[in-house]
Amino acid sequence: MEMHPWKFPPHHAVSARFVVMSTTPTSTLGALEIGSLLGVFLFGVVSLQTFNYYATYPDDSWVNKTLIAVIWVCDLVHTVGVNYEVYRTTIIDYGRPDSLLKLTVIGAVTLFGALVTLLVQTFFSIRLAKLLPPPYDKIGTVCIAISTVRFAGAVYITVCGVTAPSLADFRHKVSWLVSATFAVSAAVDVAIAVSMLYYLVRQRGEGTYRISKILDRLITYTVRSGLITSISAIALVICFQTMPDNLVWMAVYAFVPKCEYAHRIV
């Protein structure tokens, strides 16, 4: 029997309860390919920024250098994992739409994306704890605690992503947790951005004209980066909850860790 590359045969071996995803390539493989291409582009930007960082600040502390290196490696693993799944579903398993029902490698590299989030949010939270006066310095400590709990949830999501027999089972088991982790991430980003704005605006009022111009640039960067990270996380949650029968949400996830965090800290 000749099988169309994007149609399940009537008596496919996969259980019917697993076949809940659209087999239209536009909203599945097409979306995933676009997301992976954006992810590769942003990884290139992060790599260039990483190179410039080491070239520009050779005497920076070993802690910061190690942090940047770890984030770049995590971003590399995340990028390779996403693109491997694109290659597998389009080349290795070509003509088998059931291969889209389980994306184990993307589930595994979720851990690395979550680790980037934890490291970046912890980095900025430590700055808050050092810069803000009491009792506002506790905001940094609270953000670190929340981000750590979020990472623990991401570890569980990773385990479920690897062990779940299908994406349908994965969604059924941890749909609420996926939405919660990204919503919490957005909340922490907003808290960090607002706290940094408070500090910078306060310093601006006490500085000279030249210092005020520098602080204006920092304020603009803080607002822009905080909005990008929060909007990206919320967009992923919306796609995940409203489009369960396609891979648009996963396409967004393919590049979210890069535009959210790796690019932000480097």
- Out of 13-27, 43-57, 64-78, 172-186, least confident range: 13-27
For the stretch 20-24, contacts whose Cβ atoms lie closer than 8 Å and that sit 24 or more positions apart, written own/partner, are 20/168, 20/244, 20/245, 21/100, 21/101, 21/167, 21/168, 21/245, 21/246, 21/247, 22/245, 22/246, 23/97, 23/100, 24/246
DSSP state of 207: S
Q: Are 167 and 103 in contact (CB under 8 A)?
A: yes
- Is residue 262 pLDDT above 60, yes or no? no
Least trusted range by pLDDT, from 32-41, 130-139, 169-178, 257-266: 257-266
Q: Shortest CA distance to 43 belongs to which of 265, 246, 188, 255?
A: 255
Question: Hey, where are the domains in the chain?
Answer: 29-265
The burial of 252, by beta-carbon neighbours within 10 Å (0-12 exposed, 13-18 middle, 19 or more buried), is given as: buried
Instruction: Check if the beta carbon of residue 249 is closer than 8 Å to that of residue 239.
Output: yes
Query: Where does 29-265 sit in CATH, by number?
Result: 1.20.1070
**Residue of 26 and 62 predicted with greater confidence:** 62
Give the range with max mean pLDDT: 126-130, 139-143, 243-247. Answer: 139-143
Residue type, 106: I
The predicted pLDDT at position 205 comes to: 61
Q: Biggest alpha carbon distance in the chain?
A: 78
243 compared with 217, residue with greater pLDDT: 243
Residue 81 confidence class, pLDDT cut points 50, 70, 90:
very high
**What CA–CA distance (Å, rounded) separates 249 from 257?**
13
The tens digit of pLDDT for each residue in 43-75 reads 998 899 899 999 999 999 999 999 999 999 999
pLDDT band at 212 (very low <50, low <70, confident <90, very high): low
The model scores a pTM over 0.85: no
